[in-house]
Amino acid sequence: MNCIKRLRSLLTRSSPKQFPRAFTSSTDDKVDETRQWPRKIFSGIQPTGSLHLGNYLGAVQKWAELQNSGEDVTYCIVDLHSITVPQDPETLRNNIIQMTATMLACGIDPNKSTVFLQSTVKEHTELNWILGCLTTMARLRHLPQYKEKTQKMKEIPLGLFLYPVLQAADILLYKTTHVPVGEDQVQHIQLTQHLGNLFNNRFGTTFPDCHAIIDKKEAARIRSLRDPSKKMSKSDPEVKSCIYLTDEPDVIVEKIKKAVTDFTSEVTYDPENRMGVSNLVAIHSLVSNGKSTEEICKEVQGIDTGKYKMVVAEAVVEHLKPIRTKINEYLKNPSELVYILEEGREKAQGIAEETMAEVKQKVGLGANLSEFSVLKTISKKM
């Protein structure tokens, strides 16, 4: 045994490239705070069928902009996150295909971005377990979304409690440096930073410090049409609160006609005091080739809010028309969508495998069999 220990020491010191430090204590490593990490962007979206207008304007449209600016981007359909609540298997599969078609129709290009399905890369769940062993129940229990989502639940699924750890694993697995998120997700990014730093300090520098990209523009705050005090959401029981990208023109018109405003007829942009009207102005601005809210208000001077709703409806219908057409075209060939996801999986898998090999080596999981074999052979000769 003493011979093996001496050989082990010699090999790790003299030939670090050939023989990784599988046998040295990773706690001896110091975090390298000066290391420069390449800028990498990651974001995920649940496969809940068609996107609504808030998802599109606040997230996916931004993803396309990041992609087209030459960023290194990875976009993931997070089906594992979706099963934190009960799902019908057939509906879930259809929703995955629907979401893939929608992302492509919104401008996500698999030749410029890595687009894949979360559950097809097993390393997400492997890193999730390792990170879960580093965090505490108290830390997760204080997250605001957990409190919000479980308020009316008598029995809370464990997955709903743990999903922020899986979210951190999604991000860290690709050594992400930047994550585009809404303000409601900032604390989850902070948890990711905490877990990455905890791992680095315990096992040696492995993950970069990730940062939230928060869009302060109106796109990040599209409100419910029926209750502008809340974000636009699919979970809203009021069906007219939410516009979907696949809604037919007459449906869009009807929903916007029923949008809650106030008793002042003039169209102004004042989000604090006139949330309903301001929400319509924000939507109108975002679907009008970059016109500011100030420009929109000047253009519609003299029009009351009732007539203005029809102006907004027309603008939304025109903006979504080509997207809806593309979605329907993509859905005619689901096998092509599956192929695109598989190509994306191959790209993501390569990165994920490298990260997990490094993580396992540092944590002490598994065994470097080739190194064991070399040691055994040399010891026999001695």
Q: What is the pLDDT of residue 240?
A: 95
User: From CA 44, how far away is CA 35, in angstroms rounded?
Assistant: 26
Residues 6+ apart with CB under 8 A from 208: 35, 37, 175, 176, 177, 196
Task: Please name each of the domains of the chain with its CATH number.
Answer: 41-220+334-362 (3.40.50.620), 223-330 (1.10.240.10)
315's tokens: 């603008």
Three-state DSSP class for 31? Answer: coil
For 161-179, what is the mean pLDDT? 96
Name the percent of the chain lying above pLDDT 70: 85
| Cα–chain center distance at 191 | 14
139: number of CA atoms within 13 Å, CB side? 17
Q: For position 216, what pLDDT does the model report? A: 65
Is the pLDDT at 15 greater than 70? The verdict is no
H or E segment and range at residue 230: none
Catalytic residue among 40, 175, 231, 362: 231
Question: Identity (one letter) of the amino acid at 162?
Answer: L
pLDDT of residue 382: 56
Among 382, 375, 371, 380, smallest CA distance to 17 is for 371
Answer whether residue 92 shows pLDDT above 80.
yes
- Average pLDDT of span 221-248: 92
pLDDT of residue 381: 58
Would you place residue 177 in the very low, low, confident or very high pLDDT band (cuts 50, 70, 90)? very high
Q: Is 234 a catalytic residue?
A: yes
- Res 73: pLDDT: 98
pLDDT computed for residue 5 by the predictor: 47
Residue 12, pLDDT above cutoff 60: no
**pLDDT digit string, tens, across residues 278-299:** 999 999 999 998 799 999 999 9
Lowest mean pLDDT among 29-43, 231-245, 366-380: 366-380
Rg, the chain, Cα only = 25
Query: Could you say which of 112, 217, 234, 291 is catalytic?
Result: 234
Q: How confident is the model at residue 220 (pLDDT cuts 50, 70, 90)?
A: low
In this prediction, residue 14 has a pLDDT band, given cuts at 50, 70 and 90, of very low
How high is the pLDDT of residue 156? 81
pLDDT score at 152: 76
| Cα-based distances in Å from 125 to 16, 132, 173, 207 | 30, 10, 10, 17
282 CB-contact burial (10 Å; exposed 0-12 / middle 13-18 / buried 19+)? buried
Which among 198, 197, 201 is positioned nearest to 27, based on CA atoms? 201
Q: What is the pLDDT of residues 300-324, one digit of tens each?
A: 999 999 999 999 999 999 999 999 9
State the chain's mean pLDDT as an integer.
Answer: 87
pTM of the prediction? 0.84
The most confident of 81-90, 110-119, 139-148, 155-164, by mean pLDDT:
110-119
Residues 149, 240, 326, 347: which is the catalytic one?
149
The span from the CA of 360 to the CA of 357, in Å, is 5
283/299 Cα distance (integer angstroms): 15
Q: What confidence tens digit (pLDDT) does each residue in 22-66 have?
A: 223 333 334 445 578 999 999 999 998 889 999 999 899 999 999
pLDDT tier for residue 232 given thresholds of 50, 70 and 90: very high
pLDDT at 52: 94
**Under 8 Å CB-to-CB from 68, ≥6 apart: which residues?**
107, 109, 112
